[in-house]
Chain A
Amino acid sequence: MTTVERRSVAAGRESAPPRPLWHTVLVRPETMTLVLLVVAVFAASALSPYFLDLSYILRSFTLSAEFAIVALVLTMIIIAGEIDLSPAANMALSACLFAYAQAAGVPMPLAILIGLGAGVLMGVLNGLMVIGLQLPSIIVTIGTMIFYRGVAQVIAGDKSIRVPDWFIGINNVFIVGVPVPVVVFIVLSIVLGLVLGVTVFGRQIYQIGTNEIAARHAGIRSRRIKMILFILIGFVSAAAGLMTASRLGSVRYDLGLGGELQMVLMAMLGGTYIFGGRGTILGTFLAAWLLVIVSTGMTVANLLPATQLTVLGILLIVSIIATNAIYSRAQR
């Protein structure tokens, strides 16, 4: 029945005056993220003299880079009006499958394919349940989050599985002084930013998230697009899982445990609207740095994780309140 109210609202309104340009540019969530980022850098520097060191910050970023990479795709899923809480578990399961396979003697290239393929399959399973069976994605992916990690635990037990030495240390490979995971993150940000920003595919993601029914009526194949997104996040999660395996040198079922919260946090902090239709890759990009700065700053200042949890919880709530406020103001 909401529709009735909404329809009337629209019918009654004459056209409103356009907003000034500065308003459009400045009053948006990414601006808030950027400001927070700058504040965080200053705060962290004040908190600990050891903080402000670019190579340390980059090294610290590699610890979250895998999550940040997945968060970019998650941003697109949230913009499309769905959510996925299973990528961290997906990372664990595909990494476990990969590690298990290569430990069992499967040649490395094939083991890598197994890991990536498993990730894609997990994405497909999520997609089928959400799109095919029309179950709410939030509850489906809570279920698969538990399930995927559970299966990882069945496969790997509580053991950690070693990976070959040559596979270890992607975080210690540098391209012009920047660790590879960070480079991957930056490149993926640019690519996905362009996809979302200037292509029809990206445009249609926003349209689906704004009003899926209208999108279908306009001939936009929302189910196909959403399926592509679920498959994409499955694939990227698996790749992130393998990157983590390379960074750690071993794989255990608890790889990336709790990562889903960090990913959601990055998207939310970057101004992605939880109800869909709004958000940018730039926002998530900035938010990933913000989160790393905040947690690195607190860790190097030897603040207890208790404080960190509290700060993360507050950040999440505050950011979503702010995002909501900004969007409802913009909408009036």
Chain B
Amino acid sequence: MTTIRSILGRREAGIFVMIVLFAIAVGIAKPQFLTLNSLRIVLLLVPLILIGAMGQMLVILARHVDLSIGSVLGFSAMVTGMMFRYHPEIWWPLGFLLSVGIGAGLGLLNGVLVTVFRLPAIIVTLGTLNLYRGLTYIVSDARQIDRQYVPSALKAMSQTSPIFGIPWIIFISFAVVFATWWFLMHTRLGRQIYALGSNPVAAPLRGIDVTGVTLLVFTISGALSGLAGILYASRWGFVNPSNTGAGFEFQVIAAVVIGGVSINGGVGTVLGTFFGVILLGCVAAALPLLGIAGTTQNAIYGAVIIVALLIDRTVRRQGVKSLARARA
């Protein structure tokens, strides 16, 4: 194991070094970036992406991709918000159950389309990205859930907790990260996800229930997007049919790719993804501090994804070489 860690570890160490270098560079220009407060800002920026990235990582490890997560987030947040609006008497923590449940259902539908009809996930989820967004408008009658309907206790979760006042939402996202790590590293099912992505043809011959595992990763991805949905309501205090979750998929995929998860499946770690998310969070937090216009943010995101791809390719040149050989 130590050897595996040392090999795979290189990639994570690389991202970690990038984070440190970035922080130092920004810190030289703006010393206030190197304060505990910045850490707070970054950590409050990333919980949703972190949660989404864990789900997306499972899907990508299994050699698929889920582009619909932003719309899943929006739909589950919207339905949950509507429950809060029309049934304020319902005990609010049930909202978590509802949001996660709806997310899981939508994720499962993606999985069914991918497995039963044998369609490529990229196209299926491009379709459901629109479909779920459309449904969000339809169920909500294109109306926003305003702040006043979101339970105060839910909103408070994004602001504080009894534990050093660190908001619950941060604990929740870290718990998801830890659970994903445990699941992937220490359960047989987790290893089967790696195996499936590593060699989908061999998987059934080794007794892996390919359909089951595929459905599972899509369902988990959906469920975590659902969780991100209700946390969106907590963090921002409202749910909007068009904004909520829009573009979420790109941030998440960017983070996962930067974190070193191979788009060809089978390769990638929770730690790497975690660092990928943090790096994006640092960039997002540093830009306004440096007074860089918000309009450059997308260009930087795009550039970071491309650079990550190039790094990925360099780091794994050997692997790519053998792939090229098989393909050429």
Contact = CB atoms under 8 A, between A and B. Distances in A.
Touch between A and B in complex, CB under 8 Å? yes
Given A157-B295, A261-B130, A306-B142, A321 B306 contact: no
Contacts of B119: 317, 320-321, 324
A143 B255 CA distance: 12
Nearest to B263: A139
B137 A147 contact: no
A123 B108 CA distance: 37
A138 B199 CA distance: 20
Contact of A316 (B126, B293, B300): B126
Contacts of A253: 295
A143 B307 CA distance: 9
Contacts of A158: 295
B201 interface: yes
B202 interface: yes
B92 interface: no
B298 A317 contact: no
B228 interface: no
Interface stretch (B34-42, B184-192, B212-220, B320-328): B320-328
A146 B309 contact: no
A133 B313 contact: yes
Contact of B134 (A144, A212, A213, A310): A310
Which of A133, A145, A212, A275 has the largest number of chain B CB atoms within 10 A? Answer: A133
A32 to B, nearest CB: 16
A161 interface: no
Nearest to A149: B298
Interface string B272-307: 000000000000000000000101111111110110
A153 B131 contact: no
Interface string B184-213: 000000000000000101100000000000
Contacts of A54: none
Contacts of A261: 126, 130
A160 interface: no
A157 B128 CA distance: 31
Contacts of A148: 302
Contacts of A313: 127-134
Contacts of A151: 299, 302
Most chain A CB within 10 A, of B113, B130, B142, is at: B130
Interface string B108-129: 0000010001111011101111
A59 B251 CA distance: 37
| Overall SS of chain B's interface | helix
Which of the listed residues A1, A158, A306 has the most CB atoms from chain B within 10 Å of its own CB?
Answer: A306
B142 A212 contact: no
Interface in B93-152: 113, 117-120, 122-124, 126-138, 142
A317 B113 contact: yes
A221 interface: no
A145 B254 CA distance: 12
A140 B320 contact: no
B138 A306 contact: yes
B257 A314 contact: no
Contacts of B324: 134
Given A136-B263, A139-B309, A309 B134 contact: yes
A310 B138 contact: yes
A146 B126 CA distance: 16
Nearest to A317: B127
A134 B302 CA distance: 19
Interface in B229-277: 250, 253-254, 257, 263-264
Interface residues of B, number: 52
Contacts of B201: 1-2, 5
Contact of A213 (B264, B297, B298, B328): B328
A275 B118 CA distance: 12
Contacts of A139: 257, 263, 309
Contacts of A140: 306, 309
Interface hub of A140, A150, A274, A275 (most chain B Cβ within 10 A)? A150
B302 A146 contact: yes
Contacts of B113: 317
B133 A309 contact: yes
Contacts of A308: 134
B13 interface: no
Contacts of B313: 133-135
Q: Which of A147, A212, A312 has the most CB of B within 10 A?
A: A147
Nearest to B251: A146
B123 A320 contact: yes
A122 to B, nearest CB: 12
A49 interface: no
B17 interface: no
Contacts of B65: 138
A5 B200 CA distance: 13
B70 to A, nearest CB: 13
Interface in A139-189: 139-140, 142-151, 153-154, 157-158
Interface string B164-187: 000000000000000000000000
B309 A317 contact: no
20 contacts: A139-B257, A142-B305, A143-B305, A143-B306, A147-B306, A153-B296, A261-B126, A261-B130, A304-B138, A306-B136, A313-B130, A313-B132, A313-B134, A316-B123, A316-B130, A317-B113, A317-B127, A320-B119, A320-B127, A321-B117
* 9 nearest A-B pairs in the assembled complex, by CB-CB distance: A147-B302, A313-B131, A150-B299, A306-B137, A310-B134, A309-B134, A150-B298, A313-B130, A146-B302
